[in-house]
A and B are shown apart, each in its own frame.
Chain A
Amino acid sequence: EADIYQTPRYLVIGTGKKITLECSQTMGHDKMYWYQQDPGMELHLIHYSYGVNSTEKGDLSSESTVSRIRTEHFPLTLESARPSHTSQYLCASSEKAGGPNTGELFFGEGSRLTVL
């Protein structure tokens, strides 16, 4: 059972609202990731972090922003949500300093966002 949690699981909001999707892990992992996935489709990496105060944009351009102030926490924020942001957002983590590390990604259950 993966110790990585995402909230909310489901969110329906109106256009223009600011939202924050939370992701927390209790495994002490250094690396954390956000992927965007439309239903039945591939995953796209939108943000990643190698550690505290380290964040990078992924391969898919996203209007969202992330922060990594604490090792266990990697929230994703949309300042002004639009219908085009409707999707599932998956958080993942891997790699603990000092190991043992298998290279495996641990995923949360996802946050399904609908913007009306």
Chain B
Amino acid sequence: SQQGEEDPQALSIQEGENATMNCSYKTSINNLQWYRQNSGRGLVHLILIRSNEREKHSGRLRVTLDTSKKSSSLLITASRAADTASYFCATGLGGTYKYIFGTGTRLKVLA
């Protein structure tokens, strides 16, 4: 089964609101990454948080990691219509260079 489960599966918000999506995983990890995918395109890296970090910021993005709960969250503040996309978490498995992706959250930001 997949390493990562994300919730919600789909999220619809108004422009200007914050969007929060969560990712849970099962095994020990080196790092956790978040990616964005526009419809029909490849994935684009957003942010990486290492297993010894608890929180990281990048522009309007804030990522938290709780290794005791095996979970992470991605917060997008002041969302824009252009943020409409699918967002995936990916876990780098301990001792390997394998990256396993979660089920994704489909975000729709209404103008």
Contacts and interface: CB of A to CB of B under 8 A. Distances in A.
Contacts of A44: 2
Q: How large is the interface on A (under 10, 10 to 19, 20 to 34, 35 or more residues)?
A: 20 to 34
Given A42-B102, A43-B101, A107-B42, 19 more contacts: A33-B99, A40-B106, A41-B103, A41-B104, A45-B98, A45-B100, A59-B100, A90-B42, A94-B97, A103-B30, A103-B92, A104-B33, A105-B35, A105-B43, A105-B99, A107-B35, A107-B44, A110-B41, A112-B40
23 contacts: A33-B99, A41-B103, A42-B88, A42-B101, A43-B88, A45-B100, A45-B101, A48-B97, A48-B98, A58-B98, A90-B42, A94-B97, A103-B48, A104-B48, A105-B35, A105-B43, A105-B45, A105-B90, A107-B35, A107-B42, A107-B43, A110-B40, A110-B42
B42 A108 contact: yes
A88 to B, nearest CB: 8
Interface in B55-111: 86, 88, 90, 92, 97-104, 106
Contacts of B31: 103
Interface of A: 2, 31, 33, 35, 40-45, 48, 50, 58-59, 90, 92, 94-95, 102-110, 112
Nearest to A49: B97
Contacts of A109: 41-42
Contacts of A90: 42-43
A95 B92 CA distance: 13
A55 B76 CA distance: 37
B45 A104 contact: yes
Nearest to A104: B45
A38 B43 CA distance: 14
Contacts of A95: 97
Contacts of B100: 45, 59
